[in-house]
Structure 1
Amino acid sequence: MNGSRRGFLTATGTVLLGGLAGCMGAPTGGQTGETTTETTAGTTADDGGDGTETSGRDSDLASLELRYETVASGFTSPVDVAIPEAFDGSRRFVVDQPGRVWLHDDTGLRPDPYLDITDQVVELRGYDERGFLGLTFHPEFADNGRLFVRYSAPRRSGTPSNYSHTFVLSELTVDPEATTVSADSERTLLEIPQPQANHNAGALAFGPDGYLYVAVGDGGNANDEGRGHVDDWYDAVTGGNGQDVTENLLGSVLRLDVDSRGGVSGDEDKPYGIPEDNPLVGRDGYDEQYALGLRNPWRLSFDGEDLYVADVGQGMWEEVNLVEAGGNYGWNVREGAHCFRAGECPTETPGGEPLVDPVLEYPHSGGGPSGVAVIGGYVYRGEEIPTLSGAYVFADWQSQGRLFAARPQESRPWDIVEIPVSDLGGGGENVLAFGRDPTGELYVCTSGSTRISGTTGTLNRLRVA
């Protein structure tokens, strides 16, 4: 199913997600049970045959008002929700940052964690960007029971003693029908030394090509410099994991073939394969890398062959990009489409590769959309909110009761429309993540706290007000 890949929304922002130390009791949730007709992802709804939309214009978006229908509550810090097609969307798996996955199905929220790896995750306290950060299910999970997790572990062998922790990507094989599973089958696929505690990214998603895409932050700290940040080609800012492809895997999106092993050349040390058309195969650099120039890519999603990534910026701009294989999205030469810490900056690398402009960006202050850390979402493909059809829906961490939406345009950046949320249900105003079910309907994970403590986290379904 390989095909031409148009793009991928990338947002760069500041510090990311609140952590909350220790889960204080089990979350709670009721029964939903609604179903809608499935739509085809990757196509523009209501188009006139040439890809041009004929309804649902941005003026309609501006008049839209939404609400949250709380599906489940009592989480500590719900940073991801996976809704696999294996169960026709009837099971929703919520990742709670301290180390648990909770299962919500048509009977409600299960009383015991679906998966608990708290003892394998670093201890979290206060505000923390580490933890259990990502979960995705193999496209054939119903048959093979394979799922993939991404978490922050205490320093493992190979991680320097002055580094913060170890990035871990693992595979588990479980009973597909079980409502609780263990990590006894864990097979570690990848470990990356993390020099700082922040900028951990963590999103996982399978593309339509069947390959696993993994978001990796730049290693933390500020400016992409300091301990664990290597030199790059851009002399205006010291350091530069975002622009490096030879020293480490930080600051990039990886693309892995988890259905094979041995890398490209049969290396027995590689517990995964490498797609032969990855952009750096046969070139100087890590074969795993698919795109680079990222700071803290918080959440990624596919819409057909389009891959959307939100990449949290430093202090002035948040951005979203449509990403192509081998694309360089600018960090730490640029923040959004703007020069970072320099009056002027190049628009391409010394080798002539362009630094790709974002399709969306918004500032940290000023009129119109603004915020401090972009939270990546999904293109809406459902039927319950027809005005949203074909729009990419996302948020800022401090959303203050609003969401953002945008549709593709010929020129960049695309226009962003603010959408108020009139009823937050039982949730807080801090958006942490989004999910999309097989029918194209959207879910929003929120929290009432910026710290990893308490039970203010909720899973909400997006509705018309």
Structure 2
Amino acid sequence: MIKVKVSLRPIAGNINMPTVLKTAILPGDSMERLFIATQVGEIFYVGNGAIRTFLDIRSRIIKLGFAGGKYDERGLLGLAFHPRFTYNGLFYIHYSVSGTQGPGALPSSEVSRQGLPEFFKPNPCDPRTLNQKWINREIQYDHIDTVEEWILQSNGQPQKLRTLLNLRRPFFNHNGVNSLNFSPETGKLVLTTGDGGSGYDPFNSAQNDMEIAGKIIEIDVTKNTFINDPPVVTRFNELPVPIQENLTVIAKGVRNIPGISFQRFYNQYIKYVGIVGQDLVESIFSFVNYRPIPVPQLIQASLMKPESGQEGFINFGWRGWEGAFPTSIVRSCSANPILDEETIAYYNDAVKTSTLRIPPLISYFHKDPRPDKFGATALTGVQSYMGNGIPDLTGSVVFTDFARNEGSQPPTRGVLAYTRPRRDCKLNDFSVIETDYNFGSQSAYYTTLGGNLNQTRLYLGVYGSMNVTDFNQGTIFEIIQ
């Protein structure tokens, strides 16, 4: 692939961990402005060279910093503007709710000796670890996420209108990020949510049709359910019927996800979905046609045949598959310390989903010795680019990885790369995009990627630390030629 080099132009600095970058036109305005959402609960917009506060919900956000640590995947995770935001002022947010901290879904003895849920690993020799059940959900959970509808009032003050969903989450991680977007095909709000966290999806939520976790969901916001305080749920069949009737499911088999991107191709849209990997690879999937399944139909089918899956779903394959590969457990090889031992984690799951899953557009490796590639950490953004400002990228799919996994000494650097769609369903290649910005001695984690309304501009969010409790270390760049 063509080697591409770009420049990074700073737009905003000294902000907190950026999670969403997208543009919108304010009511009564004519200029498209960049909006920046931060994990701690702030939303800013850039206008006339100044940064202004659009919304501050820090008091509504759960206390960040997992188990006394500093890393966290909760907070303000989604922001989407209604397609008619300029006229109706409606926008939508997804965040982890203050005061909802729980003990988690698994006792620490079943998780790991460190007591950290992200380190859970199944043991293929112990069937008990392969079939974990989430019991006592009302008390054994980590936190509650909410999806809300807000309006920008005529006096310029945002006001909450209603809650669309309240979701109980088993662990602190895998909640999705950049999790709200509007589909240009259906006009519906799209919610992308991860499998609920820990590691290896211990409850197999991503493949369970009744679990809300691990799915891509469309919400019809034109229907007013008139339910002021929806119940906190984990399953579709726990939702009140009026809410069920507003929801359709696009896809399942999601581990964790940094959003969805739509690329117009004649009279159709190609959908690009990034799935964060476990131990082997990060993956980007693409699809055009899909059959959304209304939630009432999904519930009815589950009542009739509880064990049967809906073949109409787009299925990304997790937990049986990690991108293009059967999900593996990677351990140090006792016979040779410089090698790794790999064991299929869920053999039956891999077989069961082998003919139902769609293959990824690309899977790139956590360890890659090729000189023109890199070792991945976590996919943090996928964005279609249709502009002409960087001709070599026109029509491509640009993506970001949190940090290079190369065992090198600090400072850490994120990665910007691109790939292109292909029609033969074969795994595609990718190329690293070189940047000329000098971050000096500071670390530079690439936390999010965004674009403008017509996908002719690209924006990059960078943070100087991986800890959410290290404040004001963020910089927003525009990616230019």
TM-score (norm 1): 0.74
**Distance (Å, rounded) in 1 between the aligned partners of 2:392 and 2:154:** 36
* Aligned mate of 2:139, from 154, 161, 165: 161
**Distance (Å, rounded) in 1 between the aligned partners of 2:276 and 2:380:** 8
Instruction: Specify the SS of the correspondent of 1:395.
Output: strand
- Cα offsets for 1:245-271 (capped at 9, x unmatched): 12x20011111111114599xx97535
Q: Paired residue for 2:165? A: 190
Supply the RMSD in Å over aligned alpha carbons. Answer: 2.7
Instruction: From the superposition, tell whether residues 176 and 66 of structure 1 become closer, same or farther in structure 2 (CA, over 3 Å).
Output: farther
Q: Paired residue for 1:214? A: 191
Instruction: From the superposition, tell whether residues 197 and 156 of structure 1 become closer, same or farther in structure 2 (CA, over 3 Å).
Output: closer
Q: Paired residue for 2:208? A: 244
Tell me, which stretches of 5 or more residues in structure 2 are unaligned? 103-135, 227-235, 292-312, 329-342, 405-412
How far 1:82 sits from its partner (Å)? 2.1
What amino acid does structure 2 have at the position aligned with 1:143?
Answer: Y
- Cα offsets for 1:78-116 (capped at 9, x unmatched): 111120256666311110101111121124212xx3111
**Distance (Å, rounded) in 1 between the aligned partners of 2:34 and 2:46:** 5
Matched, 1:445 2:461: yes
Q: Paired residue for 1:223? A: 200
Q: Paired residue for 2:5? A: 65
Instruction: From the superposition, tell whether residues 290 and 156 of structure 1 become closer, same or farther in structure 2 (CA, over 3 Å).
Output: farther
* Aligned mate of 2:82, from 138, 145, 151: 138
Matched, 1:96 2:38: yes
Q: Paired residue for 1:413? A: 427
- Cα offsets for 1:7-61 (capped at 9, x unmatched): xxxxxxxxxxxxxxxxxxxxxxxxxxxxxxxxxxxxxxxxxxxxxxxxxxx33xx
**Distance (Å, rounded) in 2 between the aligned partners of 1:450 and 1:259:** 38
- Cα offsets for 1:155-199 (capped at 9, x unmatched): 399962221111111000113783xx34x4241100111010000
* Aligned mate of 1:373, from 367, 378, 385: 378
Q: Paired residue for 1:50? A: none
How far 1:417 sits from its partner (Å)? 0.7
Matched, 1:463 2:480: yes
Instruction: From the superposition, tell whether residues 291 and 401 of structure 1 become closer, same or farther in structure 2 (CA, over 3 Å).
Output: closer
Q: Paired residue for 2:110? A: none
Greater helix percent: which structure?
Answer: 2
Instruction: Specify the SS of the correspondent of 1:142.
Output: helix
Q: Paired residue for 2:364? A: 362
Larger radius of gyration: 2
How far 1:454 sits from its partner (Å)? 2.0
Contact 1:80-1:133 at 8 Å conserved across structures = yes
How far 1:307 sits from its partner (Å)? 2.0
- Cα offsets for 1:290-329 (capped at 9, x unmatched): 1000001122222222222221111111101014442110
Contact 2:402-2:415 at 8 Å conserved across structures = no
Matched, 1:403 2:347: no
- Percent identity between the aligned chains? 26
Higher-RCO chain (CA-CA 8 Å, sequence separation at least 6): 1
What amino acid does structure 2 have at the position aligned with 1:433?
Answer: T
**Distance (Å, rounded) in 2 between the aligned partners of 1:288 and 1:193:** 19
Residues paired across the two proteins, number: 370
Q: Paired residue for 2:96? A: 152
- Cα offsets for 1:392-435 (capped at 9, x unmatched): 00011115254110111234211101111121579952111111
Matches within 5 A, 1:234-383: 240-246=204-210, 248-261=211-224, 270-271=242-243, 274=246, 288-304=248-264, 305-323=269-287, 324-325=290-291, 326-341=313-328, 343=344, 349=352, 354-367=356-369, 368-383=373-388
**The 10-residue stretch of structure 1 (401-410 or 146-155) with the greater mean CA deviation from structure 2:** 401-410
Greater strand percent: which structure?
Answer: 2
**Distance (Å, rounded) in 1 between the aligned partners of 2:355 and 2:200:** 22
What amino acid does structure 1 have at the position aligned with 2:397?
Answer: Y
**The 10-residue stretch of structure 1 (70-79 or 87-96) with the greater mean CA deviation from structure 2:** 87-96
Contact 2:319-2:349 at 8 Å conserved across structures = no
What amino acid does structure 1 have at the position aligned with 2:254?
Answer: L
Tell me, which stretches of 5 or more residues in structure 1 are unaligned? 1-57, 230-239, 275-286
